[in-house]
Amino acid sequence: MQGDKAPSPDQLGYVGGRLDRADHIRTNPDLLAQTFASPDALLLVMDGLEPVTADGHLLMQPLDPNALLEEHALLGLDEARRPVFARLIVDAKEDVGFASRGRAIVTELPAHEVALYGGARSLIHWHDRHSFCAVCGSRTAPEKAGWARRCGSCNSEHFPRVDPVVIMLAEHRGRVLVGRQHSWPPRLYSALAGFIEPGETIEEAVAREIREEAGVAVHSVRYVMSQPWPFPSSLMIACIAQAEDGALALDETEIEHALWVDAAGVRAALADEADAPFIAPPALAVARHLLKHWLHGQVAQTRPSA
C-alpha cells in the first residue's frame, strides 16, 4: 500500500488508523446496501478474533457476492475509498494471551493496519458477547452497519462498549512507581492501571487506583496520551501523578511487588539492559511509552546542570 512505513519495533500498538469510518453510510440503509454490493468491497479476513496476514499485510479479500449484509460490519473506507467489512458471525476463540497473533502483528504490519485490526477485534468481540438484550433477555440483531444492536422484543438499542482505563506512573523525588502482577513473566514491571468507575473523573480514578493498589496518595495528575487496547475493548488513558510520599502499602491480591525506579533505572530497562532493575513492557503497550515520556522529561530537566 502507498505511504506505508516499515513496521517499527518501537511502534505503540493499535493507534493510527486511517479508515474513514463513514458514519453517513452506517445510518443510511440504501447507501449501506449499495456500499455492500460495490465490486470494490473488501472483507477483512479473521481467524475467530485473531488476524490473518499475508506478505506483511492484513489479508483482505473481495466480499463474497453471496454474503449477507446483516452478518457484516462496515469498518470504513480505505484510502482508495474501498469499503472494508468484517464478518460478525465468528466462532470466537478465547483470548490466547501474550502469545496471540493479535499482539505479534504490532511489529510485523504497518501501524494503520494494526489499528484497523484492533478496532475490528473489539467490535466483533462485542457482537459475539451481545446476542441477547440485557434489558429483557430477548434476541438482538445488528443494525447501523454493525455499530449497534437492537432488541427484537423491547426495541432497546445497544452500542459497542469502550471501557476507559487509567494507566499511570506515580512520581516522587525523581523516581517513578512500577508494579507487577502475580501472573507476569519474571522481572516484568509496568505502570499501575485500573478501570474508571461510574462517578469518577480521570484524575479521581488515577488517585483511587494508586491508593488502592500501592497505598500512595497522589495529586497533580497530568494526562499524557491514550491508546485503544483491543483485549477486548479498553481505552487506555496514560497519566503521570505526583506522589505525596514514597512509602508503599501494597494490595497483595492485585500487586505482587512494586518498585520506585530512578531515571538511570528506567533508561536501562528501556534499553533492555541485562542488569536493569526491571524488564519494561513491550512497545505495543502504552506503559512503555509512558516510561519513555517520563524519562524524556527527566533528561530535559537535568540537562542544564549535566
Q: Which is nearer to its own copies, 77 or 266 (CB)?
A: 77
Nearer to its own copies, 11 or 122 (CB): 122
Q: How many Cα atoms within 13 Å fall on the side-chain side of residue 289?
A: 20
Residue 60 to residue 66: CA distance in whole angstroms? 17
Report in angstroms how near the CB of residue 274 gets to its own copies at its nearest.
34
Angle at 63 between CA 141 and CA 152, to 5 degrees: 5
Are 151 and 136 in contact by the 8 Å Cβ rule? The answer is: yes
**Nearest distance, CB of residue 276 and its own copies, angstroms:** 29
Q: Which is nearer to its own copies, 227 or 298 (CB)?
A: 227
Nearest CB to its own copies, comparing residues 37 and 141 = 141
Query: What torsion do the CA atoms of 55, 59, 62, 65 make, to the nearest 10 degrees?
Result: 140
Residue number, 16 or 282, with CB nearest to its own copies: 16
Round to whole Å and give the CA distance between 280 and 288.
6
Distance from the Cα of residue 102 to its chain's centroid: 11
Chain-centre distance for alpha carbon 230: 4
Which positions lie near its own copies, rule CB under 8 A?
14-15, 17, 21, 23-24, 27, 115-116, 118-120, 122-123, 126, 129-139, 147, 156, 158-164, 195-204, 208, 212, 223, 225-228, 230, 233, 235, 237, 251, 253
Least distance CB 279 / its own copies (angstroms): 26
Which cell numbers hold the place of 99? Answer: 502469545
C-beta of 114: minimal distance to its own copies in Å?
A: 10
- Residue closer to its own copies by CB (options 98, 195) is 195
46 class by beta-carbon count within 10 Å (0-12 exposed, 13-18 middle, 19+ buried): buried
Residue 46's H or E segment, with its range, is strand 46-47
Cβ 152 to its own copies shortest distance, Å: 12
User: Shortest distance, CB of residue 112 to its own copies, whole angstroms?
Assistant: 11
